[in-house]
Amino acid sequence: QSALTQPASVSGSPGQSITISCTGTSSDVGNYNLVSWYQQHPGKAPKFMIYEVSERPSGVSNRFSGSKSGNTASLTISGLQAEDEADYYCCSYAGSSTWVFGGGTRLTVL
């Protein structure tokens, strides 16, 4: 159950697009489409942003999108806004009814 690999930080200017990668293995990300993404502002609980690789829950802006290729899932945020500044975590099913999170990525909006 090793954590998925995410970049520690990414940054972008308002209006730009950024992508956060989430690299796992053929035992988790690569083997299941059960990848989800969460946004967490400081001192707050995580917020559900993307599920099943690319599905958006109701109420989540369509500026957020997800994809997957092989063992790597990605979260793209387009039209960056100041309120997008937060930590982002990916999560994947890892088999045997267990799940693994990524280490988290701090997004800074310049």
Q: Is 51 in the site for other proteins (CB under 8 A)?
A: yes
Contact mark string toward other proteins, 62..101, x via CB under 8 A: ---------------------------x-xxx--xxxxxx
Strand partners, 64: 77
Cα–Cα distance, 88 to 103 (Å, whole number): 9
Q: What number of chain residues touch other proteins (CB under 8 A)? A: 26
E strands in the chain: 9-12, 18-23, 35-40, 47-50, 64-69, 72-77, 86-93, 99-101, 105-109
Q: Is 46 in the site for other proteins (CB under 8 A)?
A: yes
Cα–Cα distance, 6 to 13 (Å, whole number): 20
Provide, rounded to whole angstroms, the least separation between the CB of residue 96 and other proteins: 7
Cα–Cα distance, 33 to 93 (Å, whole number): 8
Q: Is 36 in the site for other proteins (CB under 8 A)?
A: yes
Stretch near other proteins under the rule CB under 8 A, chosen from 13-21, 47-55, 64-72, 73-81: 47-55
Cβ closest to other proteins, residue 3 vs residue 110: 3
- Collect all residues with Cβ–Cβ distance below 8 Å to 83 and sequence separation of at least 6: none
Interface residues toward other proteins, by CB under 8 A: 1, 3, 34, 36, 38, 40, 45-48, 51-52, 57, 89, 91-93, 96-104
